[in-house]
Structure 1
Amino acid sequence: MTARVTLYGRAGCHLCDEARTVIAAVCEELGEEYAEVDIDTDPALVDRFGEEVPVTFVDGRQHDFWRVDPARLRAALAADST
């Protein structure tokens, strides 16, 4: 199964920790996979996202940054799965 949700973040980021908790719970609930990318491993990602982490993508499209709303994430996964 390919991850439909990607979380771009960095180590030591409390918002990233909060986003990871929400994403993991929603993905588990819906039977979806998620992937996580540490932006600090790629200078291009640092340039792209800077301090706007965490950034969440659903099916390759940017969904949110800084905060992840569980209801909004559920709706995006439901809408995109049809």
Structure 2
Amino acid sequence: MSGRPQLTLVSRSYCHLCAEMEVALGALAEELQFAVEMVDVDADPRLLAHYDEWVPVLLHGQTELCHYRLEVSKVRDYLSRIG
């Protein structure tokens, strides 16, 4: 990969699925060399309106990679395509 991609995890503090995805992303980010920015859906009215019941959501820019659960194969495939 050229550079280090920046993925965004849209989540909330009291969400167990969000916590699970954050932990799973930690290991994957280290392996695949991407950065993860955490964004609190409840702190941004625009994100809340769009993603409220969908969190956690993993994004690269405007591209939604997965929600609810980390889809490792989908993230791997996507990162290899944007290479």
TM range (shorter): 0.7 to 0.9
- Show structure 2 runs of 5+ residues with no match: none
Q: Indicate the residue corresponding to 2:66 in structure 1.
A: 64
**Deviation sequence 1:25-61 (CA, Å, 0-9, x none):** 1111011111110011111111111111001112431
2:14 is matched with which residue?
Answer: 12
- 1:5 is displaced (CA, Å) by 1.0
Which residue, out of 14, 31, 37, partners 1:35? Answer: 37
8 Å contact kept, 1:55–1:66: yes
Match of 1:50 among 24, 49, 52: 52
Aligned partner of 2:24 among 15, 22, 25: 22
Hey, what does 2:76 align to over in structure 1?
74
The one-letter code sitting in structure 1 at the alignment partner of 2:21 is: A
Runs of 4+ in 1 over 4 A off after TM superposition: none
Structure 1: distance between partners of 2:4 and 2:79: 13
Query: Normalising to structure 2: TM-score of the pair?
Result: 0.85
Relative distance call for 1:10 and 1:41 in structure 2 (3 A) is same
Unaligned runs of 5+ in 1: none
Task: Report the identity percentage.
Answer: 31
Cα RMSD, aligned residues only: 1.6
Superposition TM-score, scaled by structure 1 size: 0.86
